[in-house]
Structure 1
Amino acid sequence: MVAELISVGTEILLGNIVNTNAAYLSEKCASFGLSLYNQQVVGDNEDRLADALKVAIERSDIVILSGGLGPTQDDLTKEVTAKVMGCELIEDAHSKDHIISMLKSFALKENITENNWKQAFVPKGAIIMENHNGTAPGIIIEKDGKSIILLPGPPNEMIPMFEESVTVYLNKLQPEILYSMMVKICGVGESKVETLVLDLINGQTNPTIATYAKTGEAHIRITAKAKNLGSAKKMVEPIVETLKDRFKDNIYSTNENEELEDVVVKELINKKLQVVTVESCTGGLLAGRLINVSGVSQVLKQGFITYANESKMKLVNVNESTLKQFGAVSKEVAIEMAKGGIIEADADIGIAITGIAGPNAEEDKPVGLVYIACCYKDNVVVKEYNFNGNRQKVRDQSVTKALDLLRRCLK
């Protein structure tokens, strides 16, 4: 079945808000095995919304609209949809009672204005979805083999309504399901990843294979369509095993919800090790990534931000002679930062970053030059990188590479 999304609201067109609803709904449509070929964004204009809806109905089986269900005059979605579908609007007593209850809760003793009753009118014969987080009910209109689903715009209303009501409706409507698995890779660039799986991509039918780029990483999504979950999983598993054989230790996870820092923290906890971070150009971003993970307090001993040469010497005992001879951005200084961090924090493993994030180069050292050192037991590994991009991208790439180096050293 083919689905299409229409996001309603002039504020989206003007860039006043980010259209997170479309991203959420796209992902949900994919999980139900719906083919999503088109999306539209329409302002609060009756004629343009009607035209967009007519086009969507013509080429899709299911049309999902979000936004424009409020009480004001520029909230037109329900009225325009009813007109296009040839439906009469009638007052729904249950929706009116719900609006009264919600507004009394929200406004306490304030007067309820007349325009709020606009939300109690629904297309005759439609399926009504109660909004437990707002006043505008959700609506499903079925006609001539088409399903039109109207959802409120605020994400804190739209998402719960979709989870509570729309999922039940779509499960009955769509006989096939999609199952996906994500293979997450670090240490191999996106172009090389695609080259190494090009034979699989060229030969794909079901399952399908797609590569995605993320800062410092490459992800491969394998998706199968089947009548049930068990059959879909069986179709995906051989592809995943093939990828594991090709990319080996460069794969850090096959769990879509697991990030690189999650894997690192889990490994530190399993080995009962404590880590110290020592950062120059990244200014605490590495420690911040680790602190994103619940339970990291068991393993993160301390984080040093040693941006200035004086702080490198004072906080982690980098030798002044090393700084003068090799410069702050050097493998020698990175190693001393990692070793010094371990001693000062009494940690088991140290990871250090020093580099030039830009925008200005330093003498003979270019923007993007970064050294990352990891010290564990009696072993020290130091890597040199030359990153491209602006200041933030250099820093983000440095953190990802540092996490990956830490992951590999722990093995």
Structure 2
Amino acid sequence: MKNNKILSSLSLAMLLNLSLDLVSLPVMASSAPAAEQPEPEKGPHRGRMLRDGDFALELSIFETGVPPEFRVWLTKEGQPIDPKSVDLNVKLTRLGNVVDDINFYVQGDFLRGDMEIYEPHSFVVTIEAKHQGKSYRWQYDNFEGRTIIEQAVAEAMDIQTAIAGPATLHQTIPAYGTLALPVGAQRSVSARFDGEITKLHVGFGEEVKKGQTLLTVESNESLKPYQVKAPSDGVITEQFANAGEQTASRTLLSITDSSQYIAKLAVYPSDYQKVCKGSVVNLQVEGVDRNYQGTISFIEPKVRYDQARIVWVTLPNEKGELTTGSFVRAHIEVATIDVPLAVKRVGLQGFRDFTVVYAKVGEQYEVRMLELGREGGEWVEVLGGLNPGTEYVTENSYILKADIEKSGASHDH
């Protein structure tokens, strides 16, 4: 099996050549194709024929209209024999030394196994039969969806694993919008009494603090100077006057406080009832290399022209990365669900008609066919096909899929 299943030395050599950047060392390793195993003999019921002298049995996995089960037909000297005259037991040794012990009962002209052959159909098969005082025994490998990857290779390829267990699903809906400044973020500065600006203490683009002196003005009435101070922290974003000019009851400066922004997100009618104040929101801002998280603080009472309701999420701007009008992608959390068993979505792969993860036992990996439930964030609920506590592949599971498909392993039916 190892010749068929282990990643080829060529693959390993290429991997190490890339990951260690040993460009000066040519990759010379190669591997010859493994010798193909002859197809096992098939019987009239498309099962595997097992022979010992003139005694033979046909072991078939039958799954038409029933869960997969073993059925066995028996012959001696090429002639059918009464199934009641044979004691039969089959043991299936699965990965991790889990043994399924199957006994048989008579049904018509065959023996029928007493338990379901659950997926994956990957095991060492041991058959023991007794007929007319003589014992017979066969054993063979019936592996599918299984491969071996040495630990050093798995580490070099960054094949990561996790333990299957409980998780919290965070179900979300997508939303999109733009950034805007909060109400009151922009303040207009004017003089209390008309007069001449004798000194401008700040300039366009300068950061100021609340209470900082911005201008000195000499009153036209009292001829005494007084100071105009900043009403808030912020940046001078507009300058309409200079020293020597009259204030003339006009706006002299504008201060913009950009320490916070509002992400205004559109929620459409199908999702109205799922969203409320306090809902957790994860956001990405176009052009900003970080993720934000906030909560909905306000839902506008009117719908937009396209029937969207606009919800507000406040974002801090400590690093000054945010700007008005920037595009925002968001996921609004609409449900939080604790489930007893889940796997990471990144580990899921397709195998035959199943969605699977790859269980890891030592250096062996094997598919686990999953029955899946609800989804949320990075997690998918598992309803069947995987035992809690199973170590399974998360990152780079596609490497396992490619290696198993290369080997072409299949199982008997």
TM-score when scaled to structure 1? 0.21
TM-score when scaled to structure 2? 0.21
Q: Is the helix fraction higher in 1 or 2?
A: 1
Between the two structures, name the one with larger relative contact order (CA 8 Å, sep ≥ 6).
2
